[in-house]
Amino acid sequence: MASITRRLLLQSRQCPSRIRSRAPTNHTTTRWQRPMSATARRCANEPTKEGSATAADAKPPTDLLEELVPSLPQESETNAKPTRFSKLTPAEREAEMLSNLRTSLAQLDPSVVADALRKGDRGLPSTADFGLEADEDFELEEDDRRKIAQGFWAEGETEEEPEPDEDYYGDDLTSHGHGELAMHRELREYARLIAWELPLLSHLARPFTPPTSTTPFRFRYTSYLGESHPATNKVVVEFSPQDLSSTPHALTPPQINKLIKLAGPRYNPHTSIVKMSCETHDTQSQNKRFLASTITSLIDEAKNGSDMFD
């Protein structure tokens, strides 16, 4: 059976509060007003338009509060008003308090509670139907923090229990040991590629054919595997001025000397090779076309006999 203190606590939680809230003070004017001002003061009873919320026939806030919060009925006729209670002597006050306590305890009688439940009254503690007879019934259960952390989207899902960890006997490698093992595996993989895949590339080899007299120009391109690089657009061309004598251009020795003088520092006297490059344009084809037009203009200028640079 629950103690009297717990029953009083339960009754105080179920019953509404008997202390009436204090009505707010009706301020007719603002609390702060400029002391020196030419503005007319505000009046409380200003004429308002019909249909507005502040019409003249509107009720003050105190009357509305009385309608919204009516006075609760007293449980016993012996409860005195605060003004009357303040005029009582200490002995009379003690007797009044004891009378109220006896009235409250009488309402906790099982027969009174059963009669109230039969009549449909609310606000009285009932312990027979709800199993609130032992002290354990009044203990509040705390919410599971794991369910709260999961949130709304995880409702109805069963939480998977983690599998037990394997037993550790101290015979495993360290992190550095696993790193060395991974490196060894990578080296062995490349060794297998060299032994089995590299010989197959010989089937793709083509025999070397040296350039003929009709192809004296050698273009070189640069490519980077697996990435885009700005130097990919660069094109380099190399040719020997002496090879142009046997080509359809058929340059004479004086014209070859003039071509070498026009090439300037791009001619290497040790190898007798003219080397030019271009990376001005965005694509290799555009740079190659620019080099071809430059070589054509050099050959045309070398054939021009107006000035042989002698």
pLDDT in tens, 213-268: 888 999 999 999 888 898 999 999 999 999 998 888 889 999 999 999 999 999 99
Residue 296 reports pLDDT greater than 60: yes
**Which of 6-20, 98-112, 142-156 has the lowest average pLDDT?**
6-20
Please give the average per-residue pLDDT across 165-183, as a whole number: 88
Residue 244 falls within a domain, yes or no? yes
Please give the average per-residue pLDDT across 48-63, as a whole number: 53
Q: Do residues 226 and 127 both lie within one domain?
A: no
Across the chain, what does the average pLDDT equal?
A: 76
Residue 266 falls within a domain, yes or no? yes
Tell me what percent of the residues of the chain surpass a pLDDT of 90: 33
Residue 3 falls within a domain, yes or no? yes
Look at 186 and 113; give whichever has higher pLDDT. Answer: 186
Where residue 290 sits, what CATH number does that domain have?
A: 3.30.160.20
Residue 52 reports pLDDT greater than 90: no
Residue 302 reports pLDDT greater than 90: yes
Q: Confidence band (pLDDT; 50, 70, 90) for 42?
A: low
Residue 44 falls within a domain, yes or no? no
Residue 303 reports pLDDT greater than 50: yes
Residue 83 reports pLDDT greater than 60: no
Please give the average per-residue pLDDT across 76-98, as a whole number: 70
Q: Do residues 128 and 7 both lie within one domain?
A: yes
Q: Do residues 125 and 247 both lie within one domain?
A: no
Q: Alpha-carbon Rg of the chain, whole angstroms?
A: 54
Q: Do residues 8 and 99 both lie within one domain?
A: yes
Residue 239 falls within a domain, yes or no? yes
Residue 308 falls within a domain, yes or no? no
Sequence-distant (≥ 6) Cβ neighbours of residue 116 within 8 angstroms = 124
Give pTM, 2 decimals: 0.38
Q: Which of 104, 121, 139 is the last residue of a domain?
A: 139
Give the domain extent around 131: 1-12+60-139
Residue 140 reports pLDDT greater than 90: no
Q: Do residues 8 and 122 both lie within one domain?
A: yes
In the chain, the number of structural domains is: 2
Q: Which of 84, 110, 139 is the last residue of a domain?
A: 139
Residue 25 falls within a domain, yes or no? no
Look at 31 and 103; give whichever has higher pLDDT. Answer: 103
Residue 167 falls within a domain, yes or no? no
Q: Do residues 130 and 6 both lie within one domain?
A: yes
pLDDT digit string, tens, across residues 115-138: 877 776 665 454 455 556 666 766
Q: Do residues 244 and 115 both lie within one domain?
A: no
Q: Which of 139, 160, 192 is the last residue of a domain?
A: 139
Q: Confidence band (pLDDT; 50, 70, 90) for 202?
A: very high
Residue 29 reports pLDDT greater than 50: no
